[in-house]
Amino acid sequence: MWNKVFGGGTEDTFEVPKKDSPLFDRIDWNRLPRHVAIIMDGNGRWAKGQGLLRSAGHTAGVKTLKHILKTAVGLGLDALTVYAFSTENWKRPHAEVDFLMHLFSEYLTREMQEMHENNVQIHFLGRIDGLSEGLQHQVREAETLMRDNTGVKFNIAANYGGQDEILRMTQTLAKRAASGQLRPEDISEQMIEDTLDTHGNLPVDLVIRTSGDQRLSNFLLWQAAYAEFWFTDANWPEFTPERFVDAMVDFGKRDRRFGGLNEKKS
């Protein structure tokens, strides 16, 4: 039944692009971001523009995600982190939340094997224990399957909020301190990083947000401290590997100073 609702089918001709693919002609391989994070926004607006239900926008958005992940694999990025469902998204109508959860489940079932074959390491960020038992099981299964892979780290933020993540990290460290395992003065930036959901990832180099809004919406508040931002008016379902490459090329031209001075340019 869900297959019907979601459009089902596995037909998709987009393959992982090779390094010499024309898609990558404009890429400067020495100036690629290592960790890219995407706020996949605008599914609803896209659907409305097509005269479709919001749910059709979410279904179309999944296809975009498949193509962008494959492009990230082709580029050899270290990590791709995508915002799939925020801690604030529970405010939406029950039917939409329910649809998104089923879509998420269906996506994992359908895509897990191919991701594994592409050497992807999947990880989930957020309050996973707030998802249904079935989804939690799938999440653990996917993480276990891809645990030993060495390719792109693909982080899916689901029931994720940056403030909530910082709150949980604080509670973890406070508990250790209260039990005498940790002296407050020994808390370091590295320890905080190691306790966040993104532990093991490099800092975010580039945040992409589709569909015209220019805000973080509670995404990766700590990790994006020195990220570059790239915005496009394109809605997520119409975002393409070519646009993704545009963001990579633009990133390559940025002058990242990290508070210092760039000797060459100043």
The candidate with the shortest Cα–Cα distance to 83, out of 208, 185, 192, 179, is 208
CA distance 235 to 81: 18
Chosen from ligand IPE, Mg ion, none, partner binding at 244 (C-beta under 5 to 8 Å by type)? none
Contacts of 199 (CB under 8 A, 6+ apart): 193
Total residues in contact with ligand IPE, by rule CB under 6 A:
17
Q: Answer yes or no: are the C-beta atoms of 113 and 190 closer than 8 Å.
A: no
Nearest-approach distance from CB 90 to ligand IPE, in angstroms = 10
Nearest-approach distance from CB 89 to ligand IPE, in angstroms = 5
Q: Answer yes or no: are the C-beta atoms of 196 and 223 closer than 8 Å.
A: yes
The window from 21-29, 34-42, 76-84, 231-239 that contacts Mg ion (CB under 5 A) reads 34-42
43 binds ligand IPE, rule: CB under 6 A: yes
Residues 83-112 touching ligand IPE, rule: CB under 6 A, are 83-86, 89, 100
Residue 194 falls in the annotated catalytic set:
no
28 binds ligand IPE, rule: CB under 6 A: no
CA distance 43 to 39: 11
Name 153's bridge partners.
79, 121
Other CB atoms closer than 10 Å to residue 22's CB: what's the count? 7
Nearest-approach distance from CB 243 to ligand IPE, in angstroms = 16
239 binds ligand IPE, rule: CB under 6 A: no
User: Where on the chain is the footprint of ligand IPE (CB under 6 A)?
Assistant: 39-45, 83-86, 89, 100, 211, 213, 215, 217
